[in-house]
Amino acid sequence: MRSKVMLSGLIVMVCSLAMATAAFCEGGKFSGIVDAKSTLCYPLELTFKRPSGVLKTSFAPVKFSHGQHASVACVTCHHMWDGKSEVQGCAEAGCHDNLKERQEATSYFRAFHDKNAENSCLGCHLKANVARKDKGQKPLSVAPCSNNGCHVAAK
Protein backbone atom coordinates (compact mmCIF):
# COMPACT_ATOMS: atom_id res chain seq x y z
CA MET A 1 0.00 0.00 0.00
CA ARG A 2 2.76 2.44 0.96
CA SER A 3 4.58 1.81 -2.34
CA LYS A 4 1.36 2.61 -4.27
CA VAL A 5 1.00 5.91 -2.39
CA MET A 6 4.64 6.78 -3.02
CA LEU A 7 4.31 5.88 -6.70
CA SER A 8 1.15 8.01 -6.98
CA GLY A 9 2.93 10.94 -5.33
CA LEU A 10 5.88 10.55 -7.67
CA ILE A 11 3.58 10.48 -10.71
CA VAL A 12 1.82 13.66 -9.52
CA MET A 13 5.17 15.42 -9.06
CA VAL A 14 6.45 14.39 -12.50
CA CYS A 15 3.20 15.43 -14.20
CA SER A 16 3.22 18.77 -12.38
CA LEU A 17 6.76 19.49 -13.46
CA ALA A 18 6.01 18.46 -17.03
CA MET A 19 2.95 20.72 -17.15
CA ALA A 20 4.92 23.57 -15.58
CA THR A 21 7.24 23.88 -18.55
CA ALA A 22 4.54 25.76 -20.47
CA ALA A 23 5.37 28.83 -18.39
CA PHE A 24 9.01 27.96 -17.72
CA CYS A 25 10.27 31.46 -18.49
CA GLU A 26 7.97 33.30 -16.14
CA GLY A 27 9.32 34.30 -12.76
CA GLY A 28 7.97 33.00 -9.48
CA LYS A 29 5.23 30.41 -9.61
CA PHE A 30 5.19 28.29 -12.71
CA SER A 31 2.70 25.68 -11.54
CA GLY A 32 0.10 25.41 -8.85
CA ILE A 33 2.26 23.35 -6.48
CA VAL A 34 5.81 24.50 -7.27
CA ASP A 35 7.34 27.85 -6.34
CA ALA A 36 10.64 28.37 -8.13
CA LYS A 37 13.50 30.34 -6.62
CA SER A 38 14.96 30.84 -10.07
CA THR A 39 14.32 29.70 -13.60
CA LEU A 40 16.46 29.30 -16.67
CA CYS A 41 15.20 30.94 -19.81
CA TYR A 42 17.38 30.89 -22.89
CA PRO A 43 17.21 29.35 -26.34
CA LEU A 44 18.63 25.83 -26.37
CA GLU A 45 19.40 25.89 -30.09
CA LEU A 46 19.87 29.06 -32.13
CA THR A 47 21.24 30.25 -35.46
CA PHE A 48 23.33 33.40 -35.67
CA LYS A 49 22.17 35.70 -38.44
CA ARG A 50 24.65 38.31 -39.60
CA PRO A 51 23.50 41.83 -38.71
CA SER A 52 23.03 44.14 -41.67
CA GLY A 53 26.30 45.96 -42.20
CA VAL A 54 28.51 42.92 -41.60
CA LEU A 55 30.65 41.83 -44.54
CA LYS A 56 28.75 39.16 -46.44
CA THR A 57 30.45 35.78 -46.87
CA SER A 58 29.48 32.48 -48.43
CA PHE A 59 29.93 30.66 -45.12
CA ALA A 60 26.94 28.89 -43.63
CA PRO A 61 25.25 30.62 -40.67
CA VAL A 62 26.48 29.37 -37.30
CA LYS A 63 24.16 27.10 -35.34
CA PHE A 64 24.77 27.19 -31.58
CA SER A 65 23.64 24.88 -28.80
CA HIS A 66 23.50 26.22 -25.25
CA GLY A 67 23.04 22.59 -24.15
CA GLN A 68 26.43 21.58 -25.56
CA HIS A 69 28.01 24.57 -23.81
CA ALA A 70 26.26 24.10 -20.44
CA SER A 71 29.57 23.68 -18.60
CA VAL A 72 30.67 27.19 -19.66
CA ALA A 73 29.61 30.02 -17.33
CA CYS A 74 27.15 32.44 -18.99
CA VAL A 75 29.40 35.43 -18.30
CA THR A 76 32.25 33.83 -20.23
CA CYS A 77 30.52 34.73 -23.50
CA HIS A 78 28.05 37.30 -22.18
CA HIS A 79 30.88 39.23 -20.51
CA MET A 80 28.89 42.47 -20.18
CA TRP A 81 25.97 40.75 -18.40
CA ASP A 82 25.38 41.61 -14.75
CA GLY A 83 23.56 38.34 -14.06
CA LYS A 84 20.19 40.03 -13.51
CA SER A 85 19.23 42.13 -16.51
CA GLU A 86 18.17 40.84 -19.91
CA VAL A 87 21.04 39.38 -21.93
CA GLN A 88 21.84 41.52 -24.96
CA GLY A 89 23.09 40.36 -28.34
CA CYS A 90 26.76 40.80 -29.26
CA ALA A 91 26.04 43.56 -31.79
CA GLU A 92 24.19 45.77 -29.27
CA ALA A 93 25.49 49.30 -28.69
CA GLY A 94 28.50 49.34 -26.40
CA CYS A 95 29.55 45.74 -26.94
CA HIS A 96 30.68 44.37 -30.31
CA ASP A 97 28.84 46.98 -32.36
CA ASN A 98 31.66 47.77 -34.82
CA LEU A 99 30.40 45.90 -37.87
CA LYS A 100 33.02 47.13 -40.34
CA GLU A 101 36.51 46.91 -38.78
CA ARG A 102 37.51 43.32 -38.04
CA GLN A 103 40.59 44.11 -35.94
CA GLU A 104 39.01 46.53 -33.44
CA ALA A 105 38.31 45.29 -29.89
CA THR A 106 34.63 46.19 -30.39
CA SER A 107 34.49 44.31 -33.69
CA TYR A 108 31.53 41.99 -34.23
CA PHE A 109 33.90 39.64 -36.10
CA ARG A 110 36.34 39.44 -33.16
CA ALA A 111 33.57 38.56 -30.73
CA PHE A 112 33.53 35.15 -32.39
CA HIS A 113 36.94 34.84 -34.10
CA ASP A 114 39.59 36.25 -31.73
CA LYS A 115 42.15 33.42 -31.40
CA ASN A 116 43.58 34.93 -28.21
CA ALA A 117 40.37 35.62 -26.31
CA GLU A 118 38.85 32.83 -24.22
CA ASN A 119 35.44 34.49 -24.49
CA SER A 120 35.39 34.23 -28.30
CA CYS A 121 34.19 31.03 -29.95
CA LEU A 122 37.45 30.43 -31.80
CA GLY A 123 39.68 31.29 -28.83
CA CYS A 124 37.72 29.00 -26.52
CA HIS A 125 37.70 26.13 -29.03
CA LEU A 126 41.45 26.45 -29.66
CA LYS A 127 42.09 26.31 -25.90
CA ALA A 128 39.75 23.33 -25.58
CA ASN A 129 41.65 21.56 -28.36
CA VAL A 130 44.89 21.75 -26.36
CA ALA A 131 43.15 20.02 -23.44
CA ARG A 132 41.47 17.51 -25.78
CA LYS A 133 44.82 16.64 -27.37
CA ASP A 134 46.36 16.05 -23.93
CA LYS A 135 43.50 13.63 -23.17
CA GLY A 136 43.81 11.87 -26.54
CA GLN A 137 40.40 13.17 -27.66
CA LYS A 138 39.41 14.24 -31.15
CA PRO A 139 39.82 18.02 -31.62
CA LEU A 140 36.92 20.37 -32.26
CA SER A 141 36.80 21.26 -35.95
CA VAL A 142 37.86 24.90 -36.41
CA ALA A 143 39.24 24.88 -39.98
CA PRO A 144 38.56 25.36 -42.80
CA CYS A 145 36.15 28.20 -42.06
CA SER A 146 33.84 27.21 -44.92
CA ASN A 147 32.95 23.87 -43.30
CA ASN A 148 33.91 23.39 -39.67
CA GLY A 149 32.21 22.83 -36.34
CA CYS A 150 30.77 26.35 -36.47
CA HIS A 151 30.02 27.08 -40.13
CA VAL A 152 28.61 23.67 -41.08
CA ALA A 153 28.06 23.39 -44.83
CA ALA A 154 24.72 21.99 -45.99
CA LYS A 155 24.84 18.34 -47.01
Give this prediction's pTM. 0.70
Q: Is 79 annotated as a binding residue?
A: yes
| E strand or H helix at 46 | strand 45-47
CATH number (domain holding residue 125): 3.90.10.10
Q: Is 74 annotated as a binding residue?
A: yes
pLDDT tens digits, one per residue of 125-140: 999 999 999 999 999 9
The verdict on 81 and 108 lying in the same domain is yes
Q: Which domain holds residue 10?
A: 1-39
Q: Is 66 annotated as a binding residue?
A: yes
Q: Is 15 annotated as a binding residue?
A: no
Higher-confidence position of 40 and 127: 127
pLDDT tens digits, one per residue of 75-101: 899 988 888 888 888 888 889 999 888
**Number of domains making up the chain:** 2
| E strand or H helix at 65 | strand 63-65
The verdict on 50 and 118 lying in the same domain is yes
Q: Is 95 annotated as a binding residue?
A: yes
The verdict on 126 and 56 lying in the same domain is yes
CA separation for the pair 17, 35 (Å, rounded): 11
Q: Any residues with CB less than 8 A from the CB of 16 and at least 6 apart, and which?
A: 31, 32, 33, 34
